[in-house]
A and B are shown apart, each in its own frame.
Chain A
Amino acid sequence: MKTTIQEQNDCMVALFEGRLDTAAASQTEQDMKPLHNSEKDVILDCTNLEYISSSGLRLFLGVLKSSKPKGLHVFITGLNADLQNVFAMTGFSNLFEFK
């Protein structure tokens, strides 16, 4: 699992690659730390994300929790069909904004 954080003009972009499962969650949490202190909108780019577990969903929710009170938006992009299904069945599609 690889997580890359890029600061772009008006937003922070996190690029995920691989399987965000329970084993990978701890490292990914560390990698995602800059997103929590960000004063910019966040894009979670899941184009190369193959799988997300509950631990991964919690990390995404963590970003939402730290961004929303600051009036920032969290966008998710590039979800494959399986991941779209996970977001839909958990009701999380309703929490995030999709690009």
Chain B
Amino acid sequence: MNQLSPLGELLLDEYREYRPQLELLAEKVYNMLTTTFREQGIQLNAIEYRVKAEESLVGKIVRKGDKYKSLDSITDLVGLRIITFYSDDVDKVAAIVQQLFDIDWDNSVDKRKLHDPNSFGYSSLHYICRLKTGGIRFEIQMRTALQHVWSAIEHDIGYKGFVTLPPEYRRQFSRLAGMLELADDEFSRLRTTMTDYRRQIQALVKSGRLDEVPLSNDSFDSYLKTHPFDRLNKRIAAVNQAEIFPAAMTSFLPVLIHFNFETLGDIERFINENFDNAYQLALAQLAVTDIDILSESVGLQNLCLAYALKKGGDEKELHFIFDTINGHQDANDFLIENIKKLAENIALS
């Protein structure tokens, strides 16, 4: 049972009539946002939308008395929430929202700036928007994942006020809020640092100063962009005029680290010193077949095998290679036996 005033009843009737349009509006705004974020390459933690449920609306009208004179005066009938990974991205997302929609600045609020230094809380940015073509207003909340966590826990605890909480609990809240805010800033800072590091690595790879580049996921990725295995792959492919199928090669990194390679310079030398042996090994396998399609990883795979075989073909070493690139499987025993037999017929130098 609700205790709606006659005006409240009118608003509720209007809401019921407009509900399908509200659903369409929510979906439209959601699609506009997701398309734009995708085009701009912005990675989000989540984006969600909802139309205010009838019970929730009734509760709001009852709570606020006759504050609302028309349906348009209720600004959160359609609500969207954009959750970013990084605090920097909240501003970026907000800028995009400003471009896409008309913002009702009088009713929009940056709750992040509202905090009294002595208060606690950890809030988000709320915009009241309208489509540029007009229509009913809607609310977009923008926050980081950590702000979202704060909000969810705050909601779960059931505390939203300020006065009722004893000082010791207020202090606990403040400490947590501060910690999350600090964590958000640190994550943003870390992202910037990592981006700078990647750029630096890319520049070193580009300039050929490979001995200065430590071997890591990032540096190996940058190195792969220079196609270091192409020459060997092409030579192997020429055996059967094979087509080369693109493949990710990052899964070989643990093998290269296992070989104690420390820099990209080590990898470059590894390629040059084992090029002929790797080719001979691939040739021995492929020449007796008519296979004319190969994975892009074929060159690197044969380099790793040739390197291990040259060092004596230790069973453990070969197992490590096959287990890493194929996954641990019984068949690896047979493949190792096979490759060792082949190697006996090739003079690895």
Which chain B positions have C-beta within 8 A of A89? 282, 285-286, 289, 291, 298
Which chain A positions have C-beta within 8 A of B322? 88
The answer to whether A91 and B334 have CB atoms under 8 Å apart is no
Q: 7 closest A-B pairs (Cβ-Cβ)?
A: A91-B295, A91-B298, A89-B285, A93-B326, A91-B297, A84-B331, A54-B292
Contact with B along A57-99 (1 / 0, CB 8 A): 1100100000000000000000101001110111111110110
What is the size, in residues, of chain B's interface with A at 8 Å between Cβ atoms? 27
Q: Which of B268-321 contact A (CB under 8 A)?
A: 282, 285-286, 289-298, 301
Q: How far is the CA of A88 from the CA of B245 in the complex (A)?
A: 14
Task: Report A29 CB to chain B, min CB distance, Å.
Answer: 15
Which chain B positions have C-beta within 8 A of A92? 245, 295
The answer to whether A94 and B293 have CB atoms under 8 Å apart is no
Our pick among B293, B297, B326, B335 for the contact of A54 (Cβ within 8 Å) is: B293
Our pick among B291, B298, B335 for the contact of A57 (Cβ within 8 Å) is: B291
Which chain A positions have C-beta within 8 A of B245? 61, 92, 95
The answer to whether B335 and A88 have CB atoms under 8 Å apart is yes
Q: How far is the CA of A95 from the CA of B297 in the complex (A)?
A: 9
Q: How far is the CA of A94 from the CA of B251 in the complex (A)?
A: 8
Q: How far is the CA of A61 from the CA of B244 in the complex (A)?
A: 12
Our pick among A53, A54, A91, A98 for the contact of B247 (Cβ within 8 Å) is: A91
The answer to whether B335 and A84 have CB atoms under 8 Å apart is yes
The answer to whether A98 and B326 have CB atoms under 8 Å apart is yes
Tell me if B58 counts as interface (CB < 8 A to partner A): no
Contact with A along B194-228 (1 / 0, CB 8 A): 00000000000000000000000000000000000
Tell me if B135 counts as interface (CB < 8 A to partner A): no
Q: How far is the CA of A94 from the CA of B327 in the complex (A)?
A: 8
